[in-house]
Amino acid sequence: MASMIASSKVVALGALIFSLVTYGSCARPVNFNTSDFTADPTWEAARATWYGAPTGAGPDDDGGACGFKNVNLPPFSAMTSCGNEPLFKDGKGCGSCYQIRCTGHPACSGNPETVIITDMNYYPVAKYHFDLSGTAFGAMAQPGRNDELRHAGIIDIQFKRVPCNYPGQKVTFHVEDGSNPVYFAVLVEFEDGDGDVVQVDLMEANSGSWTPMRESWGSIWRLDSNHRLQAPFSLRITNESGKTLVANQVIPANWVPNTFYRSIVQY
């Protein structure tokens, strides 16, 4: 009987590992001890898995829990990751950039690669857990050994927070579907430096005052108004370091939902 119980436990553990390797870990919620994370020049220990297509960007829709669109295309270029709560930070870690590297597997190159947090990891296997796109996971391998590394499934890695850098890009706003004269929702992306946003404020035309927006989900911020909002809108964003940036009248008077509006400002 004891041997049967032990055997069952081994089978259950094997099934769990198979599930993690095959499907990644952007899955069902699990509570995990979290702590604040700040930029640090030293490397920290973490674990990494991958999900989606082997050479894909992770989610089937090339999006994720941050709300970013087309993360398979530049400047994200599929170098993306789910982060568990110390990295995702309830959405306020969206857009943060990290260098990752692996050395403990024969296929590892040891060279650092930069990834961007674009999704939420609900099922962590470590204090810091990067559930990477197949592309990002394979990028840590020696030339020609990408698939060999991906077949490892779960590996130990090192990581550190680094500034984001989007050459030639300005901070961009996407007005979300469903926005109307009394409800306005906007996605913020491509911020150099911290890469993340912890507050967005909106100024209506000729108002002279800022109205705080609230986080809807991921990197999408919303304003529910008790009056018809008067465009053009200026938007003020604040990053984790407390630096603010103002995009004056970036949303025009004739704005329409499901449209990108590129500013002329950058951190």
Count of domains observed in the chain: 2
In the chain, the percentage of residues whose pLDDT exceeds 90 is: 80
Task: Calculate mean pLDDT across residues 148-172.
Answer: 96
Give the pLDDT band of residue 26 (cuts 50, 70, 90).
Answer: low
- Do residues 131 and 176 both lie within one domain? no
Q: Indicate whether 22 belongs to any domain.
A: no
Q: Which domain holds residue 234?
A: 172-262
Res 220: pLDDT: 97
Select from 139, 161, 183 the last residue of a domain: 161
d(CA 85, CA 66): 13
| pLDDT tens digit sequence for 87-98 | 999 999 999 999
In the chain, the percentage of residues whose pLDDT exceeds 70 is: 85
| pLDDT tens digit sequence for 110-121 | 999 999 999 999
Instruction: Give the amino acid at 65.
Output: A
Give the pLDDT band of residue 40 (cuts 50, 70, 90).
Answer: low
Report phi then psi at 15, rounded to 5: -65, -40
d(CA 134, CA 203): 41
Residue 218 has pLDDT above 70, yes or no: yes
Res 27: pLDDT: 45
